Amino acid sequence: MRALWPLFLFAFIAVNCMFAEEPAKEIPQQRLFLSDMDLSTAVQEWGKTQINRSIRETKLSIAGKQFDNGVGTHASFSYIVQLKKSVVNFSAWVGVDDAADSGGKSSIRFYVEVDGETLFASPIMREGDEAVRIDLNLTGKDILRLRVDDAGDGINFDHANWADAVFTYVGEKPLPGTPWVGKKVILTPKPGPKPRINGPKVFGVRPGSPFLFTIPATGNQPISFFVENLPKGLTLDSKTGRLTGKILESGTYDCMIIASNALGVVKRPFKIECGEKLALTPHMGWNSWYIWGEDVTDRIIREAADAMVASGMINYGYQYINIDDCWAIKPGSQDPTLQGQERDENGMINANSRFPDMKALADYIHSKGLKAGIYTSPGRRTCAGFVGSFGYEEEDVRRFIEWGFDFLKYDWCSYTHEITKEMNLEELKKPYRLIAEYLKEQPRDIVLNLCQYGMGEVWKWGKEFGQSWRTSGDLGLVFEKISQQIYIDGFGLDGLEQYSSPGGYNDPDYLLIGNLRNQKGQRVPTPLTPDEQYTHVTLWALLAAPLIFGGDIANMDDFTLSLLTNSELIDINQDSLCIQANCIAKQGDIQIWSKRLEDGSKAIGIFNLDNLFTKKAVLKASDLGIEGKCRIRNIWTQKDLPDLEGEMMFEINPHGCMALRVWKRE
């Protein structure tokens, strides 16, 4: 019997060939279960994606109906699939897993998004709701995303099953996809050859305090400077544009800066407010934390100052070189360079041996026309375990003044231990009140940054003590999550616009672009896509947030520099009204943010909050409260667009943005 089968086979083929006029072309349909795909690119906010079982590792079960096959996930969940135009169908049963045991607290929505369109959106589903069927024709489609969100009430108990989820395809097998990466495209034009004065138009100083301001200007060198109506006590170095001296009499001084080179002359008003207020526009500078952490040294700080000049950042208004944590002694450290006497016999704090001469360092920074910043904590220890200021606040302020610092970041850290009672508002204010009082007594201006991560709604009272206040935790705490954090901390400032005004700013942390230090301590490029970097800088500029670069200033590529040095974007950030933008319109994943500027124009950011699909946005003049024709300018490219009348359509890259400025035509 066994020997006969080749004969049958031959006969079968022969018969088939006789009847078939042409060889069969049809490629068979195949099936690929979601559970058989590589799910390592799935993103979910809690737990680990499970195959053929629930997130609680039990048999998949929705309203009593059990499934052998499927994927157990948790909100918020997202998984991208490249359909390769070969998938014809996707089907699944979705619902909350019975093991969620949530007592009614689960609530989720499932979505299937394809090529930018939502082809399926479930109703809000709760534990015990019958599974919902998905059955979609995907012929000719390219990219799909499966998504689960928390239905707007947080992710607790949001256990989400994609049961019997299967792709039917013909030809190429679908593969996992990744979010949009995009390209580094430099949009900022190179500065023109004629002079342009950049940065702030208003500057605050206290009577009798040493004055230092370097007029930021671009254009062919040499540029020479002149200032009309210069207040008594100040002198200008016409070659460097550096203003120094002391104004003894308080008052408002309306000056005019004139910058000229071989190709032209420009003028820009510059108001000096000599009174109690400092930092009349958001601070611009660099900070060592996100690139150097505990490795920071005197040499690194000097190199940062050199780089701020050599890169040209100083010509756009960047002025602070700020040392973060790790310059003091680290009690208990095994590293000899961090050991030593914490304070001298008079209680004055010592720097560690990596900073042999703090005064000389601050002098060096000043000699470049820049300002110097330092860091400490109101607790006994800083966040990285170095000596803090508790009990020595007055001595430390005196020391910083002696050394010649101009900026202080006062970081809560271990201060919680010093609070004996509950953490009420008075307790939260106490260390900042104390340090502000000592700062006020000094013959030198120190700008104070409150770093306490937003506790007690610091935006409501930070201004009583300092010039800026961190509104949230560390933007770069988890390196891989910087992008997500921008959307939480940056876009989360919507609604806090009333707390920003000249001399007091919401601070969502530093600009995390260029090279940064990752969790392993390696110095690597930012994890942000180029579009996300545009979004980060555009949003911060619109928020009137301090523009403090946190990357490696001594090793920047042209792209990073171009992001930091767009003069028209800086004008928006440094606008004298210091208004924080807020969200004025939402269109699905699109958000439009806007703020009013001193000249009556509006600055606008259009942001796509989706990281996978390009989205269309409609800018309506009516949303801006403007009627009639408007001049509209693309800020990144510094080019006018055709006039805006009624509305204008934009296509925005995934996680990308547009920065615009609109003026009503007369």
Burial of 159 (0-12, 13-18, 19+ CB in 10 A): buried
8 Å CB contact between 392 and 346: no
Which candidate, 624, 545, 627, 611, places its Cα nearest to that of 585? 624
Q: Which is nearer to ligand GLA, 230 or 451 (CB)?
A: 451
* C-alpha to C-alpha distances, 422 to 211, 250, 411, 465, nearest whole angstrom: 42, 42, 19, 21
In angstroms, the CA 524 to CA 649 distance is 37
Q: Does 382 bind ligand GLA (CB under 6 A)?
A: yes
Q: What are phi and psi of 232, to 5 degrees?
A: -60, 135
Cβ atoms within 10 Å, residue 341? 8
Among 85-93, 244-252, 380-388, 624-632, the segment contacting ligand GLA (CB under 6 A): 380-388
8 Å CB contact between 648 and 616: no
* C-alpha to C-alpha distances, 267 to 192, 212, 264, 366, 432, nearest whole angstrom: 16, 20, 10, 26, 40
Our CA dihedral for 648, 652, 656, 660, rounded to 10 degrees, sits at -10
Among 411, 497, 568, 589, binds ligand GLA (CB under 6 A): 411
Does residue 474 carry a catalytic annotation? Answer: yes
Which residues from 28-87 bind ligand GLA, rule CB under 6 A? Answer: none
At its nearest, how many Å lie between ligand GLA and the CB of residue 484?
17
Cβ atoms within 10 Å, residue 85? 15
Three-state SS letters, 357-400: CHHHHHHHHHHCCCEEEEEECCCCECCCCCECCCCCHHHHHHHH
Task: Considering the candidates 474, 507, 552, 575, report the single residue annotated as catalytic.
Answer: 474
8 Å CB contact between 401 and 446: yes
Length of the chain in terms of residues written: 666
Q: What are phi and psi of 471, to 5 degrees?
A: -95, -10
Q: Which is nearer to ligand GLA, 93 or 327 (CB)?
A: 327
CA atoms within 13 A on the CB side of 556: 26
In angstroms, the CA 55 to CA 99 distance is 9
At its nearest, how many Å lie between ligand GLA and the CB of residue 534?
23
Cα angle 379-380-381, degrees, rounded to a multiple of 5: 90
At its nearest, how many Å lie between ligand GLA and the CB of residue 455?
12
Which residues from 464-483 bind ligand GLA, rule CB under 6 A? Answer: 474
Task: Considering the candidates 150, 298, 411, 571, report the single residue annotated as catalytic.
Answer: 411
Binding track, positions 430-469, relative to ligand GLA; x by CB under 6 A? ---------------------x------------------
Among 99, 383, 512, 604, binds ligand GLA (CB under 6 A): 383
Which candidate, 491, 500, 463, places its Cα nearest to that of 596? 500
Among 16-24, 378-386, 526-534, 591-599, the segment contacting ligand GLA (CB under 6 A): 378-386
Among 119, 136, 175, 384, binds ligand GLA (CB under 6 A): 384
DSSP-assigned states of every residue in 588-628? TTEEEEEEE-TTS-EEEEEEE--SSS-EEEEEEGGGGT--S
Structural tokens at position 631 = 């001049």
Among 53-61, 379-387, 500-508, 560-568, the segment contacting ligand GLA (CB under 6 A): 379-387
In angstroms, the CA 477 to CA 656 distance is 23
Q: Tell me which residue has its CB nearest to ligand GLA.
A: 383
At its nearest, how many Å lie between ligand GLA and the CB of residue 415?
12
Among 129, 298, 324, 393, binds ligand GLA (CB under 6 A): 324
Among 97, 150, 325, 531, binds ligand GLA (CB under 6 A): 325
Cβ atoms within 10 Å, residue 57? 11
At its nearest, how many Å lie between ligand GLA and the CB of residue 383?
3
At its nearest, how many Å lie between ligand GLA and the CB of residue 337?
17
Size of the site for ligand GLA (CB under 6 A): 9
Q: Which is nearer to ligand GLA, 68 or 335 (CB)?
A: 335
Cβ atoms within 10 Å, residue 643? 13
At its nearest, how many Å lie between ligand GLA and the CB of residue 470?
6
8 Å CB contact between 126 and 164: no
Q: Which is nearer to ligand GLA, 164 or 325 (CB)?
A: 325
Q: Which is nearer to ligand GLA, 325 or 589 (CB)?
A: 325
Q: Which is nearer to ligand GLA, 505 or 663 (CB)?
A: 505
At its nearest, how many Å lie between ligand GLA and the CB of residue 411?
5
At its nearest, how many Å lie between ligand GLA and the CB of residue 452?
9
At its nearest, how many Å lie between ligand GLA and the CB of residue 475?
9
* C-alpha to C-alpha distances, 90 to 64, 140, 588, nearest whole angstrom: 23, 13, 24
Among 45-53, 102-110, 381-389, 613-621, the segment contacting ligand GLA (CB under 6 A): 381-389
Q: Which is nearer to ligand GLA, 396 or 474 (CB)?
A: 474
Binding track, positions 331-370, relative to ligand GLA; x by CB under 6 A? ----------------------------------------
Among 110, 213, 225, 289, binds ligand GLA (CB under 6 A): 289
Q: Does 489 bind ligand GLA (CB under 6 A)?
A: no
Q: Which is nearer to ligand GLA, 374 or 451 (CB)?
A: 451
In angstroms, the CA 524 to CA 552 distance is 10
- 194-226 burial, b if ≥16 CB within 10 A, otherwise e? bbbbbbbbbbbbbebbebbbbbbbbbeeebebe
Please give the distance of CA 19 from its chain centroid, rounded to a whole number.
Answer: 67
8 Å CB contact between 132 and 120: no
Sign of CA dihedral 510, 512, 513, 516: positive
Among 169-177, 273-281, 382-390, 606-614, the segment contacting ligand GLA (CB under 6 A): 382-390
At its nearest, how many Å lie between ligand GLA and the CB of residue 305?
19
Q: Which is nearer to ligand GLA, 150 or 324 (CB)?
A: 324
Q: Which is nearer to ligand GLA, 272 or 450 (CB)?
A: 450
At its nearest, how many Å lie between ligand GLA and the CB of residue 293?
8
Helices 425-440 and 393-403, axial angle in degrees (round to 10): 40
Q: Which is nearer to ligand GLA, 234 or 548 (CB)?
A: 548
Q: Which is nearer to ligand GLA, 198 or 382 (CB)?
A: 382
> Which residues are tagged catalytic?
411, 474
Residues in contact with ligand GLA by CB under 6 A are 289, 324-325, 382-384, 411, 451, 474
